[in-house]
């Protein structure tokens, strides 16, 4: 059997070409969630556009929501502005804003021009917020009522606009004064069990918890750790209610940040990368880091070149150069990870470099001594030369202390100068630990060359 011919993307392309929109919709519904993104990624640009065009805007929007942010952006970019606008009209406001903000300006404006004017205005407003603040995560679809309204008026409004509210994540209604300042939260259970003539101001929870629209992702994550809420209202600097931040959105943003930081530490900058992206864009993103890294490696290699006579005299040293480099790099990366984590949680400030260094140097002394004794003993047993063990052990011990110092402090220094520590810490750590490690082992070996038999 030709497995490729039976692949779901082949079948989806065939159904889209020969079948009805209902068949396309049913086929996608029958696919497991994890298979949808994979299937769409294997379609050509034209085939993907045909699939989304065949679906109703509501179904297409549901499909887009099941994709990763990067893949959803790719899909929207492929569509004609009118089709893309119809789909975006059906998405939650925060997802609309994220996609609009990530599109190229000309493409974004073309789509906004085709969108419902009210939806477009909301998307423009929300897209001005950063991705990692409350305003960039909040939704503007929520129930809002004036504090002088009665239970009967609210219930009547909910019945009259049921089609609109059906897509809302309705848990609470929010009560505002005439200036749209948040004054209370109304539980729907209390609303449904109360007499129709009763003012909702008598039922609402006064002085509810809220956040500012510029609250950071770190503070939002901390808020939801302390409060077991599904969402929290967000207000602007004047106290006017502008949206609701859902815990699910904060959790998703937090996970996305961790993924982004990991990619940056691996030298993939500029956001999430997918292999369906244009070849030139993917290559340039990686090359921007690799080209810098090769220059840093040349600096490290220059240390070996400087001591090439020592290395030629005691060739056994060459065996331990990569061990010293790798072990010190591992120790330094552990320190980097802890510093990045504490910075993200707000547990440490960029000006606390001395405190962080003192904490790390203690670990470096203990681990450096332990690792140095271990590798020194191996070198001694292998060559039967205690001085070789001394050189290798002292070099690893010293370089471990350098590595944890660099790994702990450099992220704070970079953060203080507004440089992304997730991108720059790794290359700096690697270069410094390599240079110092090579210098320690070859420098000490040069001083003890007669005892090493060189």
Q: Give the chain's domain count.
A: 3
Tokens of 417: 């100068």
Looking at residue 20, its pLDDT comes to: 81
312 within some domain: yes
Q: What's the CATH number where 54 sits?
A: 1.25.60.10
Query: pLDDT, tens digit, for every residue of 301-359?
Result: 888 888 888 888 888 898 999 899 889 888 988 898 888 878 876 778 888 899 999 99
271 within some domain: no
Tokens of 62: 């549901």
Looking at residue 416, its pLDDT comes to: 85
Burial (CB < 10 A; 0-12, 13-18, 19+), residue 112, is buried
218 within some domain: yes
Looking at residue 5, its pLDDT comes to: 43
**Could you tell me if 195 and 310 lie in one domain?**
no
Task: Measure the CA dihedral 444/446/448/451, to 10°.
Answer: 140
Looking at residue 1, its pLDDT comes to: 35
**Could you tell me if 192 and 320 lie in one domain?**
no
**Strands laid side by side in the 182-187 sheet:** 143-146, 172-176, 182-187, 205-206
Residue among 205, 93, 195 at smallest CA distance from 154: 195
Tokens of 437: 């490690």
**Could you tell me if 114 and 14 lie in one domain?**
yes
pTM above 0.85, yes or no: no
d(CA 337, CA 408): 8
Which residues lie below 8 Å from residue 388, measured CB to CB, with a gap of 6+? 314, 316, 317, 379, 380, 452
135 within some domain: no
Q: What's the CATH number where 161 sits?
A: 3.10.580.10
**Could you tell me if 432 and 308 lie in one domain?**
yes
Burial (CB < 10 A; 0-12, 13-18, 19+), residue 123, is buried
Contact 208, 182 (CB under 8 A): yes
138 within some domain: no
453 within some domain: no
Beta bridge partners of residue 106, listed in sequence order: none
**Could you tell me if 86 and 170 lie in one domain?**
no
Residue 347 to residues 131, 209, 222, 256, 343, Cα–Cα distance (Å): 22, 24, 12, 20, 6
Query: pLDDT, tens digit, for every residue of 389-438?
Result: 999 999 999 999 999 999 999 889 888 887 767 666 777 788 888 899 99
156 within some domain: yes
Give the residue carrying structure tokens 């309204």: 149
**Could you tell me if 88 and 156 lie in one domain?**
no
**Could you tell me if 45 and 175 lie in one domain?**
no
**Could you tell me if 204 and 239 lie in one domain?**
yes
DSSP character for 230? Answer: S
Range of the domain at 83: 8-128
341 within some domain: yes
**Could you tell me if 301 and 179 lie in one domain?**
no
Confidence of residue 4 (pLDDT cuts 50, 70, 90): very low
**Could you tell me if 437 and 323 lie in one domain?**
yes
Confidence of residue 2 (pLDDT cuts 50, 70, 90): very low
Confidence of residue 274 (pLDDT cuts 50, 70, 90): low
What's phi and psi for 144, nearest 5 deg?
-130, 130
Q: What's the CATH number where 425 sits?
A: 1.10.357.20
**Could you tell me if 35 and 149 lie in one domain?**
no
**Could you tell me if 178 and 306 lie in one domain?**
no
């Amino acid at each position: 059997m030709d497995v490729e011919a039976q692949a779901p993307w082949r079948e989806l392309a065939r159904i889209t070409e020969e079948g009805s929109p209902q068949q396309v919709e049913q086929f996608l519904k029958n696919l497991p969630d994890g298979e949808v993104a994979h299937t769409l990624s294997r379609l050509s640009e034209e085939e993907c556009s045909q699939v989304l065009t065949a679906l109703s805007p509501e179904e297409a929007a549901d499909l887009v929501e099941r994709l990763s942010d990067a893949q959803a952006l790719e899909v929207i970019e492929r569509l004609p502005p009118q089709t893309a606008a119809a789909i975006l009209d059906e998405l939650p406001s925060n997802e609309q804003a994220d996609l609009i903000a990530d599109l190229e300006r000309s493409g974004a404006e073309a789509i906004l021009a085709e969108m419902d004017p009210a939806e477009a205005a909301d998307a423009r407003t929300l897209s001005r917020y950063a991705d990692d603040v409350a305003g960039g995560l909040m939704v503007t679809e929520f129930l809002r009522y004036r504090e002088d309204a009665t239970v009967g008026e609210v219930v009547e409004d909910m019945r009259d606009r049921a089609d609109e509210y059906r897509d809302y994540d309705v848990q609470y209604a929010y009560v505002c004064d005439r200036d749209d300042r948040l004054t209370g939260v109304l539980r729907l259970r209390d609303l449904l069990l109360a007499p129709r003539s009763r003012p909702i101001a008598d039922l609402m929870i006064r002085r509810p918890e809220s956040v500012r629209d510029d609250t950071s992702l770190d503070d939002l994550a901390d808020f939801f750790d302390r409060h077991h809420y599904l969402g929290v209202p967000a207000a602007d600097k004047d106290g006017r209610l502008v949206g609701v931040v859902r815990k699910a959105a904060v959790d998703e943003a937090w996970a996305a940040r961790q993924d982004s930081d990991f990619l940056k530490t691996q030298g993939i900058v500029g956001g999430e990368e997918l292999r369906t992206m244009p070849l030139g864009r993917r290559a340039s993103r990686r090359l921007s880091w690799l080209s810098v890294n090769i220059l840093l490696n040349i600096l490290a290699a220059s240390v070996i070149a400087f001591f090439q006579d020592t290395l030629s005299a005691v060739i056994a040293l060459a065996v331990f150069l990569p061990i010293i480099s790798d072990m010190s790099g591992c120790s330094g990366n552990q320190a980097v990870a802890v510093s990045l984590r504490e910075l993200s949680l707000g547990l440490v400030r960029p000006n606390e470099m001395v405190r962080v260094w003192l904490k790390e140097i203690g670990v470096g002394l203990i681990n450096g001594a332990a690792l140095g004794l271990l590798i020194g003993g191996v070198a001694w047993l292998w060559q039967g030369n205690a001085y070789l063990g001394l050189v290798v052990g002292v070099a690893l011990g010293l370089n471990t202390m350098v590595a944890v110092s660099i790994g702990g402090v450099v992220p704070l220094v970079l953060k203080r100068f507004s440089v992304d520590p997730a991108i720059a810490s790794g290359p700096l750590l690697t270069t410094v630990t390599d240079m110092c490690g090579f210098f320690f082992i070859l420098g000490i070996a040069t001083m003890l060359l007669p005892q090493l038999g060189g």
